[in-house]
Each structure stands twice: as structure tokens, then as C-alpha cells.
Structure 1
Amino acid sequence: MTTTELSRFEDFQKKGVLKLSNVIDIEKVVDARTHLWQEVNRKFGIRIDEPSTWFSNVNNSVGGARAKRLNGMGSIMRDLKASGKLDEIEHAIQPVIDHVFGAHTWRPLDLWYSLLSFPGSETVWNVPHQSWHSDEPCVVGDVEPWSLFVFVFLDTVTVDMGATTVVSGSHRRAESLAKVLATPNNEALINAFESVNSGLFENPNDVTLLPMDQVLEPLIQEDPWFHELVNKGSPDKRIQRFIDEGSTQNGIEQKVVPLTGAAGDIIVFDPRCLHTFSANISNLPRQILRLDFRRQ
């Protein structure tokens, strides 16, 4: 591991979020984007260059005022994966993951996810106060997650396009909570994550962990910064408070980080970090795919 790679790895361990620029050749990105929209047009009759088609079939759009997404994208992503249309992107990501996180340490799962979303009805972007959650439990004594989420940017995504927002450092806050609040005998939860945790321990009953839904409330109770995060406030004040300034609690730096980037960039983040989606107030769809990696 080079000095640069070590620095990136340590930065990821500290923040739970790591942006890597120009990982995928733009030609490969354009090709994948073209195939994605061909399938979206075939299934939903939606064209990226015709906004009037984006919500013509209301039965296929879900979401609230912040952003809209399409139901039924899973079958499209499965077909794209099976057809090999995403292989070149996957092959470009794997060596980068190997270099930063260790060779043969992480391998991709078979399923890709679409994070494609369209503008909602809100007109001003604000740091979201709703739906903060984590997607993986915290295991006592294990500083690494079971999986890594890799966001793949198919086009430029700016904050106003409904960027996913992550609280950097929140996975470490969850680790601290787990030492106090975690309990054993979570076999059902462990089994629910079998696709990413199988082989990591001999006996599920020996694993002590903190479930995802038991992270946010204790943080709200003990930390005024999190209490403010989940309550409404003016955009200017919230952007300054949570994105520009952040906070430090128990020696852990935490900030709200919008996941933005350009075509060909990737962002790796720890699914134990608290995150949510924000309002897409632009006039463009957010074009992002997600590929998950599991520990070996």
C-alpha cells in the first residue's frame, strides 16, 4: 500500500466516506448510461431529454416532495448485469478497491442498484432533517463494516440534484454506542445480512451488535448537534451548521457530506454511517448507480 493509498484508507476509516475521481473512463460511463436509459425508455416510456415523460405514468413513480424515483428498477439492473453491460465499469472499480482497502479483501456482489431520481416539488435545497438511518448494524470489536457501498456517477451530480447526504464520522459514533448498548443473540438480524457477513464469524450467538434502528435516537439524546439535525431550520443556518462547520463529539469529527461528483467518479461509504436523501430541486435527474462489495 503506497503512502497515498494509506492516507485514503485512514481517511475512510475516520470519516466513513471516500471520494475517488476519474476511476472509470468516460467512454465506459457513457456506454452504461446509454444502456440504462434505453431500458428505462423501453419499460417506462421515459426519455432523459423529454421531461414531459418523466412522470407520465404516475403508477411507476414514488417519493414525496423531495424527489421522485421509479418503481421496478430492480429488474432493469438485473438485466443489465446479466447482459454484461456493466462489466467494464465493475472491472475498473475492483483494482481501485484493492489498492485502497487491500488486495482480495473486498469483492462485488452480483446485484447493482439504481439510484436514479427525478426532481420533486421543493424549490429550495436544505440539509434534510428526515429519514436519517444506517443500513448495517455495528458489531462490537469489529471496526470494519460487513460491506462497502460504492456510488458510481454516470453524469455530474451537484448538491441541488438530490445528493445523498452522509454524516461523516457517524459510524464511529455508532461503534462507541455499541460498546454500551449492543446486545447478543441477534441471529435473525445476522441472518438477514447473510449475503455480506457469511464466513465472518463461527457462531452468530457470539456476536454482540447494535441494530441500525438503535443508533439515531441515543445520538439525539446525548448530542445537541444531532438534536438540531433532525429538526427543521432555515437552509442558510443548516448548511452553515452541518456542512460548513460540523461538530466534534468525544473526539470524533462529524459533518454532513453531500455525495456529489462527475461522470466517472466513485464514492465509497460505510453503510453504518447515518445517511438520507435530499431534495432534487434541479431540472435534471440524478444519475447514479450503486455496487456493493462484501468482505472476504
Structure 2
Amino acid sequence: MTVPKQEDFLNKGVLKLNNVIDVEKVADVQAHFWQEVDRKFGIQLDEPSTWFSNANNPVGDARAKRLNGMGSIMRELKASGKLDDVERAIQSVIDQVFVANAWRPLDLWYSLLSFPGSEAVWNVPHKSWHSDEPCVVGDAEPWSVFVFVFLDTVTVDMGPTTVISGSHRRAERLAKTLGTSNNEALINAFESVNSGLFENPNDVILLPMDQVLDPLVQEDPWFQALVKEGSPDQRIQRFLEEGNTLHGIEQKAIPLTGAAGDIIVMDPRCLHTFSANVSNLPRQVLRLDFRRQL
């Protein structure tokens, strides 16, 4: 890996790395994952009739259906050691892209498994754009990074998480003018990822996650259009293909797609949301979060 990859991540907030995990190891994790999903929910990957067979199965809106109660399955997979080889492979590549030993995984894995919804055509989503971590004035790096792990091929029509590249830098810029101090409660809520990164929480000036989107919409017609409905052809061209540049920061909507064994590293300060799964297949993605070290 090379320094430009790190620079690319700092600029865009999204970095795709291909073939990080051996496909046989991914297939082994996938098999155990679905074994547990079948045991707990009675849902089988190759039996679509089981996907929505009872009230305990996927819930969601018209865009995609997701499984609640996956935490216990992911904890059991972690405890079993089935994810150890995958985790080591990710750690190795993270150490190569970034400064070695600068990031360490948290204990909890997440399932982002989702099933087809009722929409027929994929579109750039206009709802539920959000970020998952505040922006701290004077700190160009996030407290954590999200690593998306593909258990199988995920294409755009399968409803991938969609990210606005560069939006973390827009949020950093907003933090300098709109950020506030004395956010100890918010800082404590993120203690698992920010512990030790600053001496006094009261000295930290930050912009909370829920105060990013509205200012961007107010100052930027591109974001104004992003949160409004529109035809798929127009929105795909404007947000995925053309993008936008303001204050020297390039932005595009990027669907997180990939093949089994690929990973995508994302800055959680980037605006992102889920999109419509209009395929006839589940989206099979796991997520592991890494905490920044001192």
C-alpha cells in the first residue's frame, strides 16, 4: 500500500481495497453466518420463501428489509473465533494504508444484512442522510473508522450503503464556525472510541452529528437537491456521475459495492444512508469498527 491511499481516504472519506480477505475464509464466515441466521430466524439464503415468513423476520421500510436482533449472532461468531482470520487480514491492510498500530478493532461486529424491499428501480436515496460521529475542531481524523466487509458480491441494485464523499471535510469546515464546547455528554457517549484522545472534554470544540446536514442544505444547492425526490436518471447523473465541488471540496454519492473479500473503509463523519434493495438477493455485508490509538 502507498501513502496516496491514505491521502485519498483523508480527502474522500471512503477507500475501497480489493481482495483483502481470502475468498475461502470469507466463504467459511458466510456459511457460519447463515447457519446462525437459520437457527435463530428460520431464514435460509437459498430459500426466498423463508425470508419474510413470520413477524420476527426482516423489518424496515419500502426500500429494504433488515433483520433486528442480529447482535447476539455477531457476538457468538466473534466468540467462536470464526472471524479471527478476517480480522487479522483487515488489521494488516489497515496498518499498511495508515500508520502502523494507529488503529485497533473494537470487539463488536455488526451485521448489515438486508433483504429486497418493494421498490422496483434503484435511485440515489433522498432520505435519512446522517453521520455517526461528531467533527472536532483542529482534528482532521475521526475517532474511529468503519470497515465494511463483503461476504458476497454487492451491486448497486442490492441496496448498498451510499456515502457522500468529501462530506466529512464540509463538516470539518462547518465545525470551525458552528462548533461548540461543553459537549461532555456527547463526548462521553463516544467514550469507547475517543478515550485518551484529549485531556479535558470541556476544551473540545465540536459539531454534533445532527447539526451537519441542515447547514449544508442551506448553503449548497447540490445538497438541497440531494434531500428532495427526483427521477432515477437525473439523480444518478447529478449525484453519482457529476458530483459537485464547493470550497475546493469535491463531493459525490458513492454506493458501497464490492465482491467477496473486498473491504471499504469509511470515515463515520461522512453523510451516508441506506438505499433501496431492488434486486432479488440479500445484501450480505458485515461491519467492523476500528478505534484510533494515541
TM class by shorter-chain length? over 0.9
Measure, in 1, the Cα distance between the counterparts of 2:292 and 2:143.
Answer: 6
- How far the C-alpha of 1:60 sits from its partner, in A, is 3.2
Measure, in 1, the Cα distance between the counterparts of 2:68 and 2:215.
Answer: 33
Measure, in 2, the Cα distance between the counterparts of 1:107 and 1:118.
Answer: 31
| 1:205 pairs with 2:228 | no
- How far the C-alpha of 1:57 sits from its partner, in A, is 1.6
Measure, in 1, the Cα distance between the counterparts of 2:197 and 2:168.
Answer: 19
- 1:219 matched residue in structure 2: 216
- 1:64 matched residue in structure 2: 61
Q: Percent identity?
A: 80
- 1:174 matched residue in structure 2: 171
Residue correspondence of structure 1 range 111-126 to structure 2 within 5 A: 111-126=108-123
> Which letter does structure 1 place at the counterpart of 2:220?
D
| 1:154 pairs with 2:151 | yes
Measure, in 2, the Cα distance between the counterparts of 1:61 and 1:21.
Answer: 30
CA contact (8 A) 2:41 2:56 kept: no
- 1:80 matched residue in structure 2: 77
Measure, in 2, the Cα distance between the counterparts of 1:87 and 1:288.
Answer: 17
Measure, in 1, the Cα distance between the counterparts of 2:57 and 2:136.
Answer: 37
Measure, in 2, the Cα distance between the counterparts of 1:213 and 1:57.
Answer: 35
For residues 126-145 of structure 1, the C-alpha deviation after alignment (integer angstroms, 9 at most, x for no partner) is 00000000000000000000
Q: Alpha carbon RMSD of aligned pairs, Å?
A: 0.5
> Which letter does structure 2 place at the counterpart of 1:145?
P
| 1:257 pairs with 2:254 | yes
> Which letter does structure 2 place at the counterpart of 1:172?
R
CA contact (8 A) 1:60 1:72 kept: no
- 1:248 matched residue in structure 2: 245
- How far the C-alpha of 1:59 sits from its partner, in A, is 2.7
> Which letter does structure 1 place at the counterpart of 2:65?
K
Residue correspondence of structure 1 range 92-111 to structure 2 within 5 A: 92-111=89-108
Give structure 1 stretches of 5+ with no counterpart: none
Measure, in 2, the Cα distance between the counterparts of 1:205 and 1:57.
Answer: 49
| 1:145 pairs with 2:162 | no
SS in structure 2 opposite 1:58? coil
SS in structure 2 opposite 1:24? coil
- How far the C-alpha of 1:71 sits from its partner, in A, is 0.9
Instruction: Give the TM-score, by structure 1 length.
Output: 0.98
Measure, in 2, the Cα distance between the counterparts of 1:124 and 1:27.
Answer: 33
SS in structure 1 opposite 2:109? strand
SS in structure 2 opposite 1:231? coil
Correspondent of 1:165 among 162, 167, 186: 162
Measure, in 1, the Cα distance between the counterparts of 2:215 and 2:166.
Answer: 15
Measure, in 2, the Cα distance between the counterparts of 1:177 and 1:204.
Answer: 20
CA contact (8 A) 2:51 2:57 kept: no
Correspondent of 2:16 among 14, 19, 41: 19
Measure, in 1, the Cα distance between the counterparts of 2:148 and 2:162.
Answer: 12
| 1:284 pairs with 2:260 | no
